[in-house]
Every structure is written in structure tokens, then in C-alpha cells.
Structure 1
Amino acid sequence: MERLKARSRRRAHGGAWVPAAVLAALVLLSTVLYRSAPPTAHWNSIGIVQFPYWAGLPAEQLSPPVSYLYWLVGLPAAFAVIAWWYRRRARQTGFRVAWRLFAAVGLGALLVLVVLLAVPTEPPADPYAAHIDVGLRWGSGFATPLIAVAASLVALAWVERAPMLAAAGGWLALLAWWQGATRYGQLPYWLYRLFDGGQPIGLGGQTDLPVPGMLALMCLPLLVWVVLAAVRSRAARA
């Protein structure tokens, strides 16, 4: 009986890799929103990097309005595709998943971001001062639609009972927040020391990883989970 229940659970949650893959693709495709020039580490509103980071990362965007539309249209469109797939799967297998919950979390997080960033703020007296202070800016780390994607993944993990998927979503959220809270390419002290073997000071060091590489690094645990989950799903159907 226990083996039968376990097999039923695997079949019921065996399709979680599909919505996870859709969200991963949305993040990776966002690389088209950035300029192909080498990454820059400049702060804010008047320089090369524009705030908020509608493209996702604090790097030079091709067009902030296009980045805004990409996520404002792309994330709901991704959830529409996911909803269609879950309904189709429910008709074929008879298993239903509470996909509306994680879709609501993702869209809600995106809506909160849009509302909060719509609130006008006073520019600094000296706008160039933003380039001097490279300390942690906690709030700026959340000014990215990547946080909404990460929240969606964590909610999906809860719905699909997939703790490793939650960890992948947490990794995406952590890197997205860190890049926005410091500046593009900034590595924390412990990670820089691990790679460099030196004695960095302050927040750590810098990496010259281009935007596509950074997005791939952010999605790496997610992609590994998607592949493994897809293989397990195929094996369960065999």
C-alpha cells in the first residue's frame, strides 16, 4: 500500500519540471534586454545603469520600457502557458495540482514590485554621489522582477512538494538580491576568498562574468533540478 501511495505521489508531482523549465527559460531569455558591451559596475539613475533594474540585473539595458514590458507581459504569459499545461495534464492523468496558488504568488510579487517602484522618490542632492558608496543597499536588492520569479519557484516547490526546487528558487533570489544590493559583479567576501585565495576587504571582490553567464549561474541549480526531475518523471511512467 505504501509503495502504491508513493508511486501515486510521484505521478501527481512528476510534472513539476515543466513549469520550472518555463520560468527558467523566461530568465535566460531576458539576456536580450541588455547591451552586449562588457558589464559595468556603476550605480544608478543617471549613469549607464538605470534604477530600477527592470531587466533583472543592475547592468546596462537596451531600453528600460522594453525591459518593463518583457516582465509585465512575459511573466503572466508564462503562467498562462503553465496553466494550460496543468489543465491538459489533469485531463490526461486525473491528477490536479494547486497551480493557481504559485501563480498568484508570482503575479502578486510582480504587482507589489510595480506598485512600490511607482512611488516617486527624491533624487539625491548630488546624483554622482551614488557612484561613491558601494555598501549594501538592502531595498535596492528587491528592485528586480527576478525576485518575483524566485518567489514563484518557491511557491511551486511548496505546491509540488519539491524541497530542492525551493533551494534553487532561494539561490536565484539570493544572487538577484545581492547583485542589486551591491552592484553588478560584486562577490561576497567568503566567495571571493574561496575563488581568489586572497585577503579581500569590505564586501569582497568583482567578477567580469557577462550578463548571460551571470543569468546561467543564477539558473544553474534550477536547470539541474529540471533535468533530474524530467528523468525521474520519464522513469516513473515507464
Structure 2
Amino acid sequence: MTEDPKGLLVELGAMRKRARADRHGYWLPFLLFGLITLAATPFYAPRFCVPSGQNPELVEPQPCSWNSAEMPWLYHWLHPAGQVMNSPVFSHFQPNIAADVYWIVALLCGYLAVVWWYRWRAAQVGVETPTRLYAQVTIFMLVLPLVGVPVLSELFFGRAGWQIALPITVAVIVAATWRVRSVGFTLAVLVLFALAHFLTVYQYGPLFVLAAGLAGLAHLERNVVCTVTVAIFTATVLFVNEAGRFGFYWPRGVEHFASTAVPAFVLLVGGIIGSVRREMTR
């Protein structure tokens, strides 16, 4: 190490830059969740059937019909308000428990893997990225749709009506969090609560749970590439699933691929860019 003051400042700056590079590990979570999102594609493939009594060779198959009354109890527990079926992308989608179970298991395993990854990296490089806030946000977003929203819908909203239940719920959340944390914390809890309800109504709701977790990760990383990737991912989820309402339609042969494959591509590209930048700064 040089004793020259200018040289010391240069070396200190280089050490800080190296420490920041060692701390950033978002590239692996992006790759992991990109693959998880891509693997969900088959669950959204439309099913087509031929009406009974018709010759399959003479009649064009039509989307298979379904009845929510025939769905198992787990579906009604996870979706107490039903599911919106008029989304342009999911116009031929038939709800299924397999998709729900896949997302619950995949997101839980993915979040646990991310926490382990950051703690392992801290032991290897000596620079730790705190994961407590990230774990709190992701656990909250997994538990609330599984327990909180169904229980509130069954015991409170369904009986008192949303006109009464919603203001009371908001008031309870504000009272429980206002004195414990800052105003920003209270607003964040309210947003996450609304997002958890959004998850149970829309078919692509799990992608917003993923976006919430990645937003928490971007807050911890405080990295431009990470933050921009999360923002593009969230905007892409909205665009590919709701663009049809504004006159943009995906070809029928690829519409169900677009709902998951395009957002997955964003995460994979972000992960690759982050990995390349990490190698360049080493």
C-alpha cells in the first residue's frame, strides 16, 4: 500500500468499488426467478374441446367450458372473490389448482434460496447484504394471500360487506403500524395488503407477488441495473397481460406464452447483465 495521500485515496476508492461489487448479488435471484416464471408457462396453456356428439374432424375445437362450482375447496379458499376471466391474454384460460400450488411452492423455495444465497455470499466475500426486510416482505406476501385474505373474506368482508369492512380494515392497519414505524411503513403495508387481494383475483397475480419481492431486493441492493430491471419487469407484466384492453392483441398461438415468457426474459437479461458487470469489476 502506498504512503502517498493521493495514492491512498485512489486505493480507498478502488476498495470501496470492489466492496460494492462484492455486495451485489441480485444477478442470481434474477436468473432463478426468471426460470421459475418461464417454467410456469405450461399452466396457462389454453385447453380446447370438441362439443359432445360432434365429429372432431369436421368441427373446430372451442375453449373448454368450466364451472367454478366444480372447482375443489382449495380453489375457493385461495380465490374467495373468484377470478377475473375477461383479461385478453387469459380469455381461454381455465383456472386450475396446479398453477396455484406451483406458484406457492416455487416462490417459497425461491425466496428461501435467495436468503441462503446472500448469507452464503456474505461468508465468502466478507460483505453482507441485510436480508431481514426482504424476508419480511416476501413472507408477508406469501402468508397474506394464503391466510389473511381468505379469512377476512370469509369472516368479515363476506358478512359485513366491503363498504363497511374495507374502511375498518384500513383503520386497523393504520392503527397497528402508525406508532410502530414511519408513515412510509404504514403506506407500504396498505399497498401490500391491496396487492395480496389483487393476487387472488387476477390470473397473473403471482407475478406481482414476485415483483413485490424483487422491489424489496432492489431497495436493499440500491443498484441501478437491479432497480431498472425490476421496474421493467413490473411494467412488462402489466403490458403483456393488459395491452389487449388498449387494442394490442397477441396472436392466439403465442398469447399464453407472452404472459410468462416475456417477463421471464426481462429477468434473465437483467441477471445476465448483472453477472457480466460483476465480472468486469473484479
Indicate the TM-score class for this superposition, using the shorter chain for normalisation. Answer: 0.5 to 0.7
Report if aligned partners of 2:215, 2:227 keep a CA contact under 8 Å in 1.
yes
Percent of paired sites with the same residue: 22
Distance change in 2, residues 1:101/1:72 (3 Å): same
Measure the CA separation in 2 of the matches of 1:113 and 1:177: 20
1:169–1:187 Cα change, 3 Å: farther
Aligned-residue offset at 1:222:
2.2
Is this contact kept in 2: 1:75–1:107, CA < 8 A?
A: no
Q: 2:249 aligns with which of 202, 206, 224?
A: 206
Name the structure with the higher helix share: 2
Look up the SS of the partner of 2:128 in the other structure: coil
| Residue aligning to 1:88 | 120
Kindly state the Cα deviation for residue 165 of structure 1 after the two structures are TM-superposed: 2.3
CA contact (8 A) 2:208 2:234 kept: yes
Which residue pairs with 2:272 in the alignment?
227
Cα separation, partners in 2 of 1:74 and 1:151, compared to 1, 3 Å? same
Other-structure match for 1:103:
135
Normalising by structure 2, we get a TM-score of 0.58
Corresponding residue to 2:35 among 13, 25, 34: 25
Query: Deviation of residue 215 (structure 1)?
Result: 1.7
Q: CA RMSD, aligned part only?
A: 3.5
SS at match of 2:83: coil
1:130-154 deviation digits (Å, cap 9, x = unpaired): xxxxxxxx98587411111001111
Q: 1:113 to 1:172 in 2, by over 3 A?
A: farther
Distance 1:19 1:206, change over 3 A: same
In the alignment, the residues of structure 1 paired with residue 92 and residue 131 of structure 2 have an alpha-carbon distance, to the nearest angstrom, of 34
CA contact (8 A) 1:26 1:74 kept: yes
Query: Which AA in structure 1 matches 2:45?
Result: R
Paired residue for 1:199?
A: none
TM-score, L = length of structure 1:
0.67
Query: Secondary structure of 1:205's partner?
Result: coil
Amino acid at match of 2:105: V
- Give the structure, 1 or 2, with the largest relative contact order (CA under 8 Å, sep 6 or more): 2
Larger Rg: 2
SS at match of 1:52: coil
8 Å contact kept, 2:215–2:230: yes
Separation in structure 2 between the aligned mates of residue 205 and residue 61 of structure 1, nearest angstrom:
18
- Aligned partners of 1:78, 1:179: CA distance in 2, in Å? 23
Residues in 2 aligned to 1:106 and 1:59: alpha-carbon distance in whole angstroms: 30
Q: Are residues 179 and 222 of structure 1, via their aligned partners in 2, closer, same or farther at CA, if it must alter by over 3 Å? A: closer
Q: Distance in 2 between matches of 1:94 and 1:75?
A: 28
Q: 1:10 to 1:69 in 2, by over 3 A?
A: same
Could you tell me how far apart the structure 1 residues matched to 2:118 and 2:269 are?
A: 22
Deviations 1:79-110 (A, max 9, x none): 12222222222221111111232232223223
2:83 aligned residue (45, 49, 52): 52
* Mapped partners of 1:25, 1:221: distance in 2: 11
1:36: Cα distance to partner?
Answer: 5.1
> Structure 1: any 5+ residue segments left out of the alignment?
123-137, 189-202
Secondary structure, aligned partner of 2:40: helix
Aligned length: 196
Q: Deviations over 1:163-189 (max 9, x none)?
A: 332232233333434666x5xxx436x
Q: Distance in 1 between matches of 2:130 and 2:268?
A: 23
